[in-house]
Amino acid sequence: MLFGILIYDGVEAIDLATFGVLSMARRIRPDIEICTIAPQSGVTTLANGLRVIADYDLRDAPHLDILVVTGGPGWQAQARSPEVLGFIRRHLDEIPIVSVCTGSLILAASGVLDGKEATSKREVVPPEISPLERLRAEYPRVTARNASLVDEGSIITGGGVSLCIDTMLHLLKTVFGPETATEIARTIEYQRAWAANLAQFPPLVTANP
């Protein structure tokens, strides 16, 4: 099963925990494969200077089983990119799409969240505007919800920053079952944090079981 992680200039480095969770999950599910995709080939410079090289660009990306869209300050440029938005829309009817943090704002700009509920990052450093409030104000066709994640079935949107770990665990639970996800959480030593988040800031699952 191939997970494709969409990165771009200005992604928050902590959002690469999406890759990290999947990397650790491969110890339990070796059938997991991971690749990174960027708008252009070559070096992608993340927020505050970390440089990575994606495996593919939008033109040569392989067939994916799940697409993960990361967040960070660079989301605004991607939300104006016809190539990125088209790439997301092309995958909507084929595979599940997952966003973390402000990646949901890119999804909203593509139109794939129209008529759906979604969430995004809440906490900011003033005078920055909360991305969740921007989702609510700028994309009225999307119902912005205050939740750790929103699972609409074909689309999952995750909350901010470290909640990308919870979002990936939820995704793995959906794909492989609760026992596998629990074992992955134990392996990454996140089971207590995950349990606390589930109790204190639960996900919103609107998808039919």
Contact criterion met (CB below 8 Å) for 44 and 54: yes
> What spatial distance separates the first Cα and last Cα of the chain, rounded to whole Å?
22
| 54: its two tokens | 């994606």
- Taking the C-alpha atoms of residue 34 and residue 203, their distance in angstroms, rounded to an integer, is 25
Q: Is the peptide bond between 96 and the residue preceding it cis, with omega within 30 degrees of 0?
A: no
Whole-number pLDDT of residue 207: 74
Rounded to whole angstroms, the Cα distance separating 132 from 161 reads 13
Mark residue 146 as left, alpha or beta (left: phi above 0; alpha: psi -120 to 50; beta: remaining): beta
The encoded tokens of residue 102 equal 């402000």
Provide the pLDDT for residue 208: 62
Q: What is the DSSP letter of 116?
A: S
pLDDT tens, the chain, 209 aa long = 999 999 999 999 999 999 999 999 999 999 999 999 999 999 999 999 999 999 999 999 999 999 999 999 999 999 999 999 999 999 998 999 999 999 999 999 999 999 999 999 999 999 999 999 999 999 999 999 999 999 999 999 999 999 999 999 999 999 999 999 999 999 999 999 999 999 999 999 997 65
State the Cα angle at 176 between 119 and 142, rounded to 5°. Answer: 15
Q: Which alpha helices (DSSP H) does 61-102 contain, by range? A: 75-78, 82-92
Give pTM, 2 decimals: 0.97
Q: Which residues pair with 33 in a beta bridge?
A: 2
- Domains of the chain, CATH where assigned: 2-205 (3.40.50.880)
